[in-house]
């Protein structure tokens, strides 16, 4: 696309981010990490620039057999800011 914005690619980034969050909520740390990396890779506007780093400690908690704390969910939500994933994070935190 020669540096032009590709709306479809950005939508795929959003979908990958949503899949990462759902995997996190389902306790699948490996899938959460891979989908977060994919979201960051596809992202063209910086929405998911810190997503991988913000998600990593929560995936570590899951791998250690721990529940994700409210503080962990809050940090992840803050890293993504207000947007289409805010409601999903609220839903997943239960």
The mean predicted confidence, pLDDT, of the chain is 93
> With contact defined as beta carbons under 8 Å apart, do 48 and 17 qualify?
yes
**pLDDT tens profile 18-45:** 999 999 999 999 999 999 999 999 999 9
pTM over 0.85: yes
Residues 6+ apart with CB under 8 A from 71: none
2: Cβ–Cβ under 8 A, 6 or more apart, which residues? none
- Three-state secondary structure call for residue 23: helix
**Is a pLDDT exceeding 60 seen at residue 80?**
yes
pLDDT at residue 2, as a whole number: 54
> Residue 90 has what pLDDT?
92
pLDDT of residue 40: 96
In this model, does residue 78 exceed pLDDT 70? yes
Question: Considering just the CA atoms, what is the radius of gyration of the chain in Å?
Answer: 13
For residue 1, what pLDDT band results from cuts at 50, 70 and 90? Answer: very low
């Amino acid at each position: 696309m020669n540096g032009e914005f590709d709306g479809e690619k950005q939508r795929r980034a959003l979908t990958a981010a949503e899949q990462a969050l759902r995997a996190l909520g389902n306790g699948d740390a490996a899938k959460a990490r891979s989908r977060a990396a994919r979201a960051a890779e596809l992202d063209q506007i910086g929405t998911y620039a810190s997503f991988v780093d913000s998600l990593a400690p929560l995936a570590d908690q899951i791998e250690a057999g721990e529940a994700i704390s409210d503080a962990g969910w809050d940090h992840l939500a803050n890293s993504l800011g207000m947007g289409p994933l805010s409601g999903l994070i609220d839903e997943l935190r239960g």
